[in-house]
Amino acid sequence: MSLLLAISALFFASACLAQRSPPGFAPFKHVRVAADDGAPDGVLRIAQTADGYLWFAGDSLYRFDGATFEQIDWPEGAGRRHASPSALMTDSKGELWVGLRDTGGVAVYRHGALQDMHMPDPPRGLAAFAQTPDGAIWASSLGLDKRLQRLGAAGWERVDETQGLPPGYIMDLVVARDGGLWVALSAEDGGSGTLALLAPGADRFQTMDARLSGRPKIALDRKGTLWTSDAAGTRMLFGPDGAPSKGGIVFPALPGTSRAAFTFDHRGGLWGTTGAVGVFHIADPLSPRGTSVESVHQFREINGLTSDISYLPFVDREGNVWIATESGIDQFRRASAIQEAAIPADPAFGLKMAKARDGSVYVATRRTLFHAQPGADPKPIRALDSDEVSMCSARDGGVWLVERSQTLLLHGQQATITPGHPGGEAQIACAEDGNGRLWLGLADGQLVWRDRGGWHHATGELAALNLWDLATTPAGQLALIVPPDVAMLEGDHLKTIRLAPTGIGTPWALLPGNLPGSRDLFVSGSSGLARMRGDQVRQLDDRRFPWITWVRTLQQTPDGETWLFNRTGAYKVATVDFDRAFDDPHAPLPYTKLDALDGLASTVQKGGFAGTQSALAGDGRLWFLNRQGAAYIDPANLPSNKIAPPVTIRALSSGGRSWRDPTQLTLAAGTRSLDITYAGLSFTVPQRVHFKYRLEGVDEHWVDAGTRRTVSYSNLGPGRYRFQVMASNNDGVWSQQSASLDVEIRPTFVQGWPFRLLCAVALAGLLWLVYSLRLRAVARSVRSRMAERVEERERIARELHDTLLQAIQALTLRFQLAADDLPPGYPGRASLVSAIDTADRVIAEGRDRVRALRTQQEGDVEQVICDLIAQTGFEPAIEVAVAVHGSPRRLDPLALEEVTAIAGEALHNMRQHAAATRVTVEIRFDSSFGLRLADDGVGIAPAVAAGGGKEGHFGLVGMAERARKLRARLCVAPLAEGGTDVVLSVPGAIAYKRDERRPFGRFGS
């Protein structure tokens, strides 16, 4: 995809300011782009498709979105890349048909690419297309071979001979409103041309009674009337009903016209090209005022056209007129500000202006006085003696015009002449106060005034003023700018008003309010605007509104609008908002700006030009002076664009690839960034097309893109995204629907669910390994403490055996010897012998204890539990049941000892306190060892179970301590249905004997 990023010149550059628009073109804003600015070469055809794009056929095919020309080539391998386009048409479906030279045939632009329509026998080049209501496509040749072909349900067929088309070159094809096909032909020998019609339902053409000459072109106006333009001029031929026109309207051809093509704009105006002498415009071709040469307005290269060699006019859906020339592309659109061509500029001395009470406006420039009556064009009415004049409104309804040699009071073209002013310096401005005195400020700061007695020099404090500007307030007082202050003349008293605190900078212009009953005097400064209303001064500064500086003139209309003109443009605000902004320091001030994009050729006069700079005429036009002369704005007829711009997504680029006109894309795995280019297809003022967009899944809200037409995203992950974009035109009308693009980014292997599943499995395995290592460490610690206990028991057993038991036995022997020495019957001998027997029993019991300390408990845990139950001695009426779950395993002797102790304590409590009728014992062997003992007795008190025992009793406490030694979980709780439940769970790594553990539980081996 080739992009030609040069169109910014088209809409940011207007026709050269030094080239004034000729009459008939003044109401239009002219913009242009030449070939060396980036316009396509050799543009001969223009079309607009339903999606809003403009298409240009030149050496190649281009589409235009208002900012960029994009070259559209054939897809790779199509074999027709050499064929340049020569004809364009948009069909009823909104698709673009392209006719090609060099026997390239016909193509249609669909789904982002050109597609061949397989014309079997194409001519050397195609000239024009037409589509009749039956859907048939008609294509004419550039030459005399295969002149007319038709594409219908049966495919392409040649019809110029079979349907009796008259001889000659086909110059144009036009479909009538009733579905008939008009064909304009030029003679092979250059003689008279022919007009033929294929009526609806007919199978042969009929030659019409119409005289054509040269290279005739035909077109329908808005009413359906057929017009032609040829060497004889431009004229009506046949009405919408097919009857010959009886209007007799004939506009003469411009001298030098070689081939004329024309079209009608949305207002009915006629636009034509000439081939050699620029373009022409007929504002109202149906006007009854006649068809004189003055009705045909010409615009040429000298006026700013890219070339006098003009080929084709085209009107887009918004009413903009496009002209294709040899050297570029020109656009004409309705201007908001119209530079009056009849009033020339005067850069040296400036223009002067004044308004009469009847609503007419007077403008003086270059020793000529112009008079513009309401609703009429300005006309020169008087030659002036000097270039330096001053003008101001007279209280009697006329206008004062002050020259050095004379003073004139004007009423229309009538003038009352009195002597000129006595000062030798150039004038600044004049004003007539409420007492009828005419005041005149001079360039050296002096002030002179005139009454019935003639001219007088100011005296006293008035003579000492360093005057900059003067004006009359709505109340009739004389106001003067004496930097940095404003002075008011009340009678003969001069009152000074300090403006420094207002913060408007240096005051330089006085702007009286012009609404009926207004009491306002506005003072413009370098950094703001002040409003003087009586003794109250309020200000707006550039900190609040940066645009409200250096205001040169101001007008307020009865419709509630205030217009301000400064160096950057004309600003329209609502008068009520304007007043509120002065009164409320926090109030906003919405505005509409007009500048060069709206036809404002220049803003205000710069330099020391003072006096009235604008006037509201009686017809509602707002006249103002600028460096190019005089211009006006008609607030009641400002052009508006109510057509919502179609919005489209031009392209998506990612990873070095681009997709044109995408609607749904699947991008490669690993895609992280993408660039999206979009367009709002409004061509009136494309610089003011604004956008907002969002990418669902990334942007939480709509993003204001301003005028940017490209957005980039990065760090995107896999998933589905939807990009949406909307646009508004130059008048703020938003598109009704957004353009959308669905994008799917495929995941890489590491971003996909299989990898995530593997990660989850690996994480689970890692957690299990950590848990296993932790359990192994705990088991090792428990076994280490158990081994320490065994060693301690063996030590105690040795100590008992080697010390205490040996000593007692030795002592017993000595007592036995002593008893043997006593004679039988000796008193006390029997008691001694009895004590020795008791000592022997103690020694035997001691040996049993020592043996128990040295011997670890062994055996089947089920059997041990059964022995405990038997030893507990439950009443015969109590049913005791033992159940075993899982494959029995041998417990570690020390673990078995602790388990036995816990079970014994539980059984003892059930026998002593439960008053149960049934006791259930469950033994469970799995990855851990479990023991559950339950009864159906009175149950343990919840408070005792929660507290871990009853104060002063240590049974439950001892059970919990033994469980902690085993890193086991012990739960003692009451059952809902009555009774107590004791559950013990011991980790298998601790509970089971090492040679009894399963492979996954062989910790510490």
pLDDT tens digits along 818-863: 777 777 777 777 777 777 777 777 777 776 666 655 555 566 888 8
Could you read off the pLDDT of 789-817 as tens digits, one per residue?
Answer: 666 666 676 666 667 666 777 777 777 77
Q: In the structure, what pLDDT confidence band is assigned to residue 298 with cuts at 50, 70 and 90?
A: very high
* pLDDT over 70, % of the chain: 91
The predicted pLDDT at position 289 comes to 58
**Tokens describing residue 887:** 């494959």
Give the C-alpha separation, 173 to 193, whole Å. 14
The predicted pLDDT at position 14 comes to 42
The predicted pLDDT at position 347 comes to 86
Of the candidates 27, 28, 38, 34, the one whose C-alpha atom is nearest the C-alpha of residue 3 is: 38
The predicted pLDDT at position 829 comes to 74
Mean pLDDT value of segment 343-352: 90
pTM: 0.76
Give the C-alpha separation, 635 to 620, whole Å. 7
Strand pairing category for 337-339 and 629-633: antiparallel
Q: Which residues contact 714 (CB under 8 A, 6 or more apart)?
A: 672, 673
Q: Which residues pair with 485 in a beta bridge?
A: 482, 498
The predicted pLDDT at position 38 comes to 83
Higher pLDDT, 810 or 770: 770
Could you read off the pLDDT of 202-260 as tens digits, one per residue?
Answer: 999 999 998 898 899 999 999 999 999 998 899 999 988 888 887 677 888 999 988 88
Neighbours of 965 (CB within 10 A): 16
Q: In the structure, what pLDDT confidence band is assigned to residue 89 with cuts at 50, 70 and 90?
A: very high
Is a pLDDT exceeding 60 seen at residue 689? Answer: yes
Is residue 854 classed exposed, middle or buried when 0-12, 13-18 and 19+ CB atoms within 10 A define those classes? middle
In our burial notation (b when 16+ CB lie closer than 10 A, e otherwise), range 662-676 reads beeeebeeebeebeb
Going across the sheet that includes 703-706, the strands are 664-667, 739-745, 719-728, 690-696, 703-706
Lowest-confidence region among 65-74, 426-435, 562-571, 751-760: 751-760
Is a pLDDT exceeding 50 seen at residue 18? Answer: no
Q: Which residues pair with 847 in a beta bridge?
A: none
Neighbours of 186 (CB within 10 A): 22
The predicted pLDDT at position 288 comes to 63
* pLDDT over 90, % of the chain: 53
Mean pLDDT of the chain: 87
**Tokens describing residue 222:** 């808005």
Mean pLDDT value of segment 943-953: 74
Could you read off the pLDDT of 711-764 as tens digits, one per residue?
Answer: 999 999 899 999 999 999 999 999 989 999 999 998 887 777 787 888 888 888
> How many alpha carbons fall within 13 Å on the CB side of residue 308?
12
Of the candidates 599, 603, 478, 588, the one whose C-alpha atom is nearest the C-alpha of residue 553 is: 603
Sign of CA dihedral 181, 184, 187, 193: positive
The predicted pLDDT at position 849 comes to 64
Maximum Cα–Cα distance across the chain: 183
Is a pLDDT exceeding 80 seen at residue 159? Answer: yes
The predicted pLDDT at position 572 comes to 96
Mean pLDDT value of segment 54-80: 86
The predicted pLDDT at position 705 comes to 95
Higher pLDDT, 288 or 228: 228
